[in-house]
A = this chain, B = another copy of it.
């Protein structure tokens, strides 16, 4: 395999003065995201990621530690747009289901972002170290943050049920592309799914409609 799919920018000797700069960290994360997406978790290497970022492998270890931790950081970097929970939970729980599904779909509708998310899902479903990182990431970055703002019994379970619906929707709509969900209008999906999420996140008791 060649490194043809990796970004070719920023090659060459690492500039010592850039070692601690935020743009170095970001260049490593962008390279890591590309390498993990292109090769999968097992085949991506710190050495290859360092080469793609144009830095010394020691600098990658310095910033991120092991490959597992780098994968975790790349995950966080990838999901950053989806982690803007302030806009979703900030205005209170009224309408939270609708804001959540709308934001989720809008993130997935961007082709570049979608490709990255699909690569993450593939790695996590086939390689255990990647699964472990995604598990920790979902628990700590998503469920705990969302659950802290909910006033329902078992808030983390409620948050995870809401997440499970969105994950399944993404798998059938964007990854497997099963019709009619694959081509359904996003507004129709928001209208159908928002009440479900709203119930999980705000209803004291599960009740049949």
Contact = CB atoms under 8 A, between A and B. Distances in A.
A168 to B, nearest CB: 3
Q: Chain copies in the assembly?
A: 2
A38 to B, nearest CB: 14
A164 B50 CA distance: 39
Interface in A150-209: 154, 156-158, 160-161, 163-169, 171-173, 175-181, 184, 188-189, 191-196, 198-200, 203, 206-209
A168 B166 CA distance: 7
Given A161-B193, A164-B171, 12 more contacts: A97-B208, A125-B171, A131-B175, A135-B176, A135-B177, A135-B178, A157-B180, A163-B168, A165-B165, A195-B208, A198-B208, A198-B209
A134 interface: yes
13 contacts: A125-B171, A125-B175, A125-B176, A138-B176, A139-B178, A143-B178, A157-B184, A157-B192, A160-B181, A161-B181, A164-B171, A171-B171, A195-B207
Contacts of A172: 138, 160, 163-164, 167
A118 to B, nearest CB: 8
A43 to B, nearest CB: 13
Given A121-B125, A169-B164, A209 B180 contact: no
Interface residues of A, number: 52
Given A160-B172, A176-B135, A199 B195 contact: yes
Question: 6 closest pairs, A vs B, by CB?
Answer: A168-B168, A164-B168, A167-B168, A164-B169, A165-B165, A160-B181
A126 interface: yes
A164 B181 contact: yes
A67 interface: no
A122 interface: yes
A124 interface: yes
